[in-house]
Chains A and B, each alone.
Chain A
Amino acid sequence: MIEDAIALARVHAPLLAVAAPIAGAALCIVTLNARFGWIIGVFASLISAAIATDLAARALVFGAPLRTAAEGVALVPDRLGAFAAGVVSVAALLAAIGAGARASASRDGALTIVLVLLSAAGWLAAAYTTNALVLMLGTEIAWLAGVGVVALGGEGKRTPLNAAARMLSVGAVGVAFSMVGLALIADATGTLSLSMLAENLSFDSQPFSVGFALVLGGVALKAGVAPFHLWVGAAFTRANAATLLAVGCVSAAGALLAIVRVVSYGVVAPEFGAAVFWALAPLGVACVVIGSVQAIGARDLRRLIAYALTAQMGGVMLCVSLGSPAGFAAGLIQITAIVGAGLALFGAATVSESYKVNDIDGLARRAPFSSAAFTFGAASLIGAPMTIGFLGRWRLVEAGVGVDWWWPVGAMTLASLAAVFYGGQLIERVYFRRAQEVQARSGDRWRYASFPALAAGVIVIALGLAPQALLAAADAAAMVAP
């Protein structure tokens, strides 16, 4: 009986993983009680994460076929989507737990948790589908929910509303790009099914190329890839835990993984391989340079972390621009590293209530766990050995050298050198400086809700030390590409 139920659930796993946060959000909005909503939200996210990681493990580590329901509503995932959903769902679980730090404020707190759940559901739907239209819809639902999370994230300050307005402007441009792009792709191929693009593509590929570039641009705007990251500084400067974890980590991961998936299907046609390379490689370099410069100059801790993650996204763009399974696998590892470092750093900033860079001076004496998370996250950003960040960079070097492609290796070396400045600065301040003035903590114990996010720091190191399962999963997922 139970085995039959589990088997049935596994057949419908993608749909259940998306439906669980939506059901949780519906329950939260009925009650509009922040603390009850938080419990529901965490429970729904836990179910979603359990289903998504089970599916990812079965498909990618144990090699089980991806079966879907033969009738009724069904999402048809691919292996890359299963990997993406696994990463997004775990990050969403930690974000939902961390959003409890906002649960002290009643109505807005409950609405924040609803929006965090809807954002997760949107990115999961985008990860599981192989239809470009559903991918766009999932992305936009998640983005709109993210705008709401930012708008409600004021903690008594009004600046996040300004940031939400900026995000809305950027999102609207992204929607316009995506709509026109999808129309052009459908016109050129007669389908919006990603898996059927190559079969239906004619030699008259110009509309497809333009459409493909527009769709990629629309998603890149939402990932916060430089130079399209106009909203990043404003959104994170006075952000609360929910914004930092849900928008800074879950949305970034969801959008980056969507880019990887779209490109993996786009380069099925060989003539687009070069075009994709010339679109993404300069973007990757720009991202590394602009993000690094901004991170080095930042004085606000949350903004520094956000710009550092933007710089790391350049590495993902470089990996993906290779257009090979090795490149996609390197990109997946790099995204996992970004999510892990982001969760650890943003979580540590929230738990220790450190908002300016000099707030972390001498933090090791006052908050050892947060300090450890800062250290692990910063070490991964630098690409220090025995971290997952190192693994991502190593795989990119392997993939690049394999095709005699040296300059992205140089770009990633530059990214690591820059990261030594901003990441090293964090470690140096935490352990080797004395606090000039210790800020009094708010005494709000709900900030400890972000504590589980610190575990991401441990995961960053654990996956760096024992990477076999992650490498196998990334390699299996990347085989969806030609």
Chain B
Amino acid sequence: MIAPAIPPVIPPAPARLLRHPGPVARERFTVLSDGAARSFRVRLPEGASLVDALVEAEEAGAGSEWRGSAAFAILHGSLAPCVYCLAVRDPSGARLVTYSPMRDAGTVSVQGGAATLGTGLDGKPLAHCHAWFVDPHDGQVAGGHFDTAATRIGPGGLVARMTLLGDLDIRQVPDAETNHAIFSPVGHLGGVQ
């Protein structure tokens, strides 16, 4: 199968490249692969926080206590409450962008999104989640970066496709370039590089 031809597009203005506060890392793509990934359909139950529900799903899929990494494609369901933010310019100048104050959208119907489950700086499970949703009252569409501890699964649950990333070790690491702590593939849990 061959990729279809893409019609040329002339953008109205060139894309901007930003200069982050720290030294530019030599490596521009950090990539690891695994041949033992497994996929599951999961329905996360109402009531749990989003991060706890993702950990529970990972444990159920792996058949063991939480140890590793998973990628979730969020399909549909509800969140209550849905606590999220957007990215805005950092007024302090410590970094280029930071998170806006959190917003509570109440109970929402989720239409799609993605989440990565890995290990945070503190060694505990950490979820990074972006998703989009519809306000059930006015039909308004919104989306953003979720507070996965404050956000909880709503009535009817949340359905996702979960991919267990084999033995890939995804960890939050400090990034000097952006001055953020960022998920990065750091190795394989079995110690194989």
A binds B: no
